[in-house]
Amino acid sequence: MIEFTFWQILENLLLAARWTVVLSLVSFVAGGLVGLVLLVMRVSDSRLLRAIVRVYIEIFQGTPLLMQLFLVFFCLPLVGIDVEPWVAATLGLTFFTSAYLAEIWRGCVEAVPKGQWEASASLAMSYFEQLRHVILPQAARIAIGPTVGFGVQAVKDTALVSIIGFTELTKVGTAISNATFQPFLVYGLVALIYFALCYPLTWSARVLQRKWHAAR
């Protein structure tokens, strides 16, 4: 057993939490960009594009994130592509996040009254001009709350990447717990750090939903 003081344990966990934050931000931003492309395809007039996106979303929403991480980390080397744990973690979380964000945003787009589509079409706008200038700005107001709320899920999902060797908060917590034999203290601190990361997002989501609700 290795002796760690309380402050040494806390310091190491906080240092590891930096990577949890970085991974959360990178995967959320990348997932958001991919999700935006999927959204445009999902609400397009093309049946083929809608079908492709529907299959993509159903696959990533219908399978555990842990299995997706395993597939990226262990299957890519089988075809000659070696990936580091941080790359596999980023890819896995990006795919997972993009599927959920695309569905969240699709619901927000469909919440915009159809009269807005008809009004913009009467102005001889193209489909993409309708999206850019009329529909998406209104949908964005509705989407802010649930999107920020999903950010909480993105932070918590990073705990799973410890399984493929990415050194973040949960993995460091496990290592310290195994070394010190103080699981209650270590995992209690891990839980508090996750709470400190997630609670501001939860609070912000509630505030933004009230502020930007469609009814306003």
Domain assignment of residue 204, yes or no: yes
Residue 147, pLDDT > 70, answer yes
112 within domain boundaries: yes
Predicted local distance difference test score (pLDDT) of residue 115:
80
Task: Using the Cα atoms of residue 69, residue 71, residue 76 and residue 77 in order, give the sign of their dihedral.
Answer: positive
For residues 5 and 89, which has the higher predicted lDDT (pLDDT)? 89
pLDDT at 48: 93
41-60 pLDDT tens trace? 988 888 999 999 999 999 99
Task: Give the C-alpha separation, 135 to 141, whole Å.
Answer: 10
| % of the chain exceeding 70 in pLDDT | 97
Residue 185 within a domain: yes
Q: Is residue 97, in this structure, part of any structural domain at all?
A: yes
State residue 6's pLDDT score. 85
For residue 181, being part of any structural domain is answered with yes
Provide the pLDDT for residue 131. Answer: 81
Task: For residue range 9-52, list pLDDT tens digits in order.
Answer: 999 999 999 999 999 999 999 999 999 999 989 888 889 999 99
Stated pTM of the model? 0.86
Domain tally, the chain: 1
Q: Which domain holds residue 70?
A: 6-212
Q: What is the number of other CB atoms lying within 10 angstroms of the CB of residue 210?
A: 10
DSSP for 45-110 reads S-HHHHHHHHHHHHHHHHS-HHHHHHIIIIIGGGGT----HHHHHHHHHHHHHHHHHHHHHHHHHH
DSSP state of 131: I
Please tell me the predicted confidence (pLDDT) of residue 215: 45
Has residue 1 been placed in a domain? no
In a domain, 119, yes or no: yes
CATH of the domain at 130: 1.10.3720.10
Residues 190/162, Cβ–Cβ less than 8 Å: no
In the chain, the N- to C-terminal Cα span, in Å, equals 59
Structure tokens at 182: 């103080």
Q: What's the pLDDT band for 2 if we cut at 50, 70, 90?
A: low
What is residue 33's predicted lDDT score, i.e. its pLDDT? Answer: 95
Tell whether 143 is covered by a domain.
yes
Residue 180 in tokens: 């010190």
Contact 133, 120 (CB under 8 A): yes
Q: Count the helices and strands in the chain (H runs, E runs).
A: 9, 0
The Cα angle at residue 29 between residues 81 and 41, in degrees rounded to 5: 85
